[in-house]
């Protein structure tokens, strides 16, 4: 019998996929859950469900540190924000797919399967990586059988498939962010209920006293908080906690999916908002005007590559090389104030600062103002010529 490796989260879609692959495709199923920082119960539950449903084997693959260092930190350096929110789910998908491909090769599997629907983005993100890294078949039972969510639930009940009963919404979580969608949230006029959130407090319930935080960066990467060096996972976790308690990081957005559909999404990304905001403030101090202008374009292109599932595209590697070179000078400390959903930059310093307090001062005579006369006289000369020639009465 042929073998298939199923990317397995233990949710509705992937849970029914085990039986669907056995019954409809006549394959032995090996399941794998890739740990990119989801809650512990979401690591433990897939193991129990997989074996209960008759999986041949189940693997739990710890990829948290690799996700932080090779994906999250690259996203920070590029200020990866898509249509107004920091990417989290999309950022983790390439790594999950890579780990699944590695396992499929190890097991000699004939195919790789996933539980993505035909309406979402993840089908592109998974399959692009799988096909780039292997020649095995790709199976998507939910999409291939055109199943609705209610049909999946009925199938699960008929086959005794255990499903999480406490989740009203479709939630994806990793160490960099938490997405919330589905159910009543599909109506864009429905306010997201408070119980949908887990990482962040509302502005009403946020801490009453403002909190001051100093974030240290080295070459564009956050390395410490309040004069204490920290490991990547600890630092991201601490930033999520601090920013979340202060009501930072909730985003309610209508975004454009790859296939053209608009979808209503809620995100909790407290650490991402905090660290990217601080990172951009430090860039303003250390990069030139032309670098900053070009970096904003890089952010847009880089973010779209991630969102579209094209992490393996050579352009992403090219952009990494570019940002790595610029980030050599993005070293220093940023002081921020967090209070009731507001995040404000209080100060920034860097050994590579291009800011000169002496030169910019109105009291300085080191820069002779008279030398500007000729420059100002000819400034905008083409626009002046256009107005004189083309806008005559």
| Residue at a domain's end among 126, 149, 172 | 172
| DSSP assigned state of 136 | S
**76 and 31 in a common domain:** yes
Q: Residue 10 has what pLDDT?
A: 87
pTM: 0.92
**Residue 93 falls in the annotated catalytic set:** yes
**Residue 45 falls in the annotated catalytic set:** no
Per-residue pLDDT of the chain (393 residues; tens, 9 = 90+): 899 999 999 888 999 999 999 999 999 999 999 999 999 998 999 999 998 888 999 999 999 999 999 999 999 999 999 999 999 999 999 999 999 999 999 999 999 999 999 999 999 999 999 999 999 999 999 999 999 988 999 999 999 988 776 567 888 999 999 999 988 999 999 999 999 999 999 999 999 999 999 999 999 999 999 999 999 999 999 999 999 999 999 999 999 999 999 999 999 999 999 999 999 999 999 999 999 999 999 999 999 999 999 999 999 999 999 999 999 999 999 999 999 999 999 999 999 999 987 766 666 667 788 888 888 888 888 888 888 888 776
| DSSP assigned state of 193 | P
Q: Please give the full DSSP string across 85-116, using - where no structure is assigned.
A: EE-SHHHHHHHHHHHHHHHHHHHT-SEEE---
CATH no. for residue 114?
3.40.50.620
**237 and 162 in a common domain:** no
Q: Residue 311 has what pLDDT?
A: 97
**142 and 33 in a common domain:** yes
| DSSP assigned state of 50 | H
Options 45, 93, 125, 329, the catalytic residue? 93
> Residue 96: inside a domain, yes or no?
yes
Please tell me the total number of residues recorded for the chain in this structure.
Answer: 393
**219 and 159 in a common domain:** no
CA distance 276 to 121: 24
**194 and 156 in a common domain:** no
> Residue 124: inside a domain, yes or no?
yes
- The domain total for the chain is 2
Q: What is the CA radius of gyration of the chain?
A: 25
- The kind and range of the H/E element at 386 are helix 381-390
**182 and 149 in a common domain:** no
**164 and 184 in a common domain:** no
Options 122, 134, 179, 201, the catalytic residue? 122
> Residue 333: inside a domain, yes or no?
yes
Q: Sheet holding 28-35: strands in order across?
A: 57-62, 28-35, 3-7, 111-113, 137-139
Helix-strand-coil percent breakdown of the chain, rounded to 5? 45, 20, 35
**117 and 52 in a common domain:** yes
Q: Residue 377 has what pLDDT?
A: 86
> Residue 23: inside a domain, yes or no?
yes
Show the domain range for 299.
Answer: 177-349
Q: Residue 384 has what pLDDT?
A: 86
CATH no. for residue 273?
3.90.1260.10
**Residue 170 falls in the annotated catalytic set:** yes
**88 and 47 in a common domain:** yes
Options 110, 149, 170, 320, the catalytic residue? 170
| Residue at a domain's end among 172, 189, 206 | 172
CA distance 150 to 198: 26
Cβ distance 258 to 252 under 8 Å?
no
* C-alpha closest to that of 285 among 361, 360, 350, 222: 350
Q: Residue 361 has what pLDDT?
A: 63
**334 and 220 in a common domain:** yes
**199 and 73 in a common domain:** no
Cβ distance 355 to 311 under 8 Å?
no
Q: Please give the full DSSP string across 332-385, using - where no structure is assigned.
A: EEEEEEEETTEEEEEEEE-TT----HHHHSTT--SS-GGGGHHHHHTTTHHHHH
Q: Please give the full DSSP string across 222-287, using - where no structure is assigned.
A: EEEETTEE--HHHHHHHHHHHHHHTT--EEEEEEE-TTS-EEEEEEE-HHHHHHHHHHHHHHHHHS
**Residue 131 falls in the annotated catalytic set:** no
């Amino acid at each position: 019998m042929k073998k298939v490796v199923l990317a397995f989260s233990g949710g509705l879609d992937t849970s029914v996929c085990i039986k669907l692959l056995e019954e409809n495709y006549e394959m032995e199923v090996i399941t794998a859950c890739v740990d990119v920082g989801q809650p512990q119960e979401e690591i433990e539950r897939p193991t129990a469900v997989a074996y209960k449903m008759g999986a041949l084997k189940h693997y739990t693959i710890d990829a948290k540190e690799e996700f932080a260092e090779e994906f999250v930190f690259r996203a920070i350096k590029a200020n990866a924000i898509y249509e107004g929110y920091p990417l989290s789910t999309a950022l983790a998908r390439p790594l999950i797919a890579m780990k699944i491909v590695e396992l499929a090769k190890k097991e000699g599997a004939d195919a790789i399967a996933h539980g993505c629907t035909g309406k979402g983005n993840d089908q592109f993100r998974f399959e692009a990586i799988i096909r780039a890294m292997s020649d095995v078949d790709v199976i998507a039972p939910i999409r291939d059988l055109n199943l609705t969510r209610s049909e999946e639930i009925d199938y699960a009940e008929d086959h005794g498939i255990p499903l999480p009963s406490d989740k009203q919404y479709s939630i994806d979580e990793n160490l960099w962010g938490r997405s919330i969608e589905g159910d009543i949230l599909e109506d864009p006029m429905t306010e997201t209920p408070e119980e949908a959130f887990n990482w962040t407090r509302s502005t009403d319930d946020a801490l009453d006293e403002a909190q001051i935080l100093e974030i240290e960066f080295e070459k564009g990467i956050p390395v410490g908080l309040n004069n204490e060096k920290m490991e990547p996972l600890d630092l991201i976790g601490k930033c999520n906690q601090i920013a979340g308690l202060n009501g930072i990081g909730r985003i309610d957005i209508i975004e454009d999916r790859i296939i053209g559909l608009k979808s209503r999404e809620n995100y909790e990304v407290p650490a991402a908002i905090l660290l990217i905001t601080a990172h951009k403030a430090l860039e303003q101090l250390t990069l030139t005007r032309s670098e900053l202008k070009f970096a904003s374009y890089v952010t847009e292109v880089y973010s779209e590559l991630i969102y579209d599932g094209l992490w393996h595209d050579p352009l992403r590697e090219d952009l990494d090389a570019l940002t790595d070179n610029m980030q050599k000078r993005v070293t220093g400390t940023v002081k921020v104030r967090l209070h009731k959903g507001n995040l404000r930059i209080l100060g920034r310093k860097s050994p590579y600062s291009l800011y000169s307090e002496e030169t910019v001062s109105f009291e300085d005579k080191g820069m002779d103002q008279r030398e500007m006369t000729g420059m100002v006289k000819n400034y905008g000369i083409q626009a002046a010529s256009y107005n004189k020639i083309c806008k005559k009465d």
